[in-house]
Amino acid sequence: MQKTILITFICAGLLFTACNNQEENKDNTQKQSDIEMATDTTNILVFDAAKVDNKKDPTCGMPTTAGISDTAHYDNHVLGFCASECKAEFLKNPKANLAAAALKK
């Protein structure tokens, strides 16, 4: 009887340990997946130049046909930017930078 109880406790301990290790592995796998997603550049949104109102990035002058990674709405226009840094710079003084956008007619 005592051997049965002892074996039951040992099995329960092993089962608990196995389940606990599985949870730790799941957490590590999730962390690794998060890191891969954060460094994966294939998930970056790229916008279609035909859907924005400007021909050039109003901050740096790059043509929108070369690629748009961020957009902003200003003065009833959807503006495309090559980078979020260009968008941030534009938003500091949008009125002054709007002329450089070469708006489509």
Per-residue pLDDT at 39: 47
Distances from the Cα of 86 to the Cαs of 29, 82, 83, in angstroms?
35, 7, 5
All residue ranges of the chain with pLDDT < 50 are 37-41, 43
Per-residue pLDDT at 38: 47
Q: What is the rounded distance in angstroms from the CA atom of residue 37 to the CA atom of residue 40?
A: 5
Residue 72: name the closest of 60, 96, 55, 54 by CA.
54
Residue 55: name the closest of 102, 8, 7 by CA.
102
Per-residue pLDDT at 50: 86
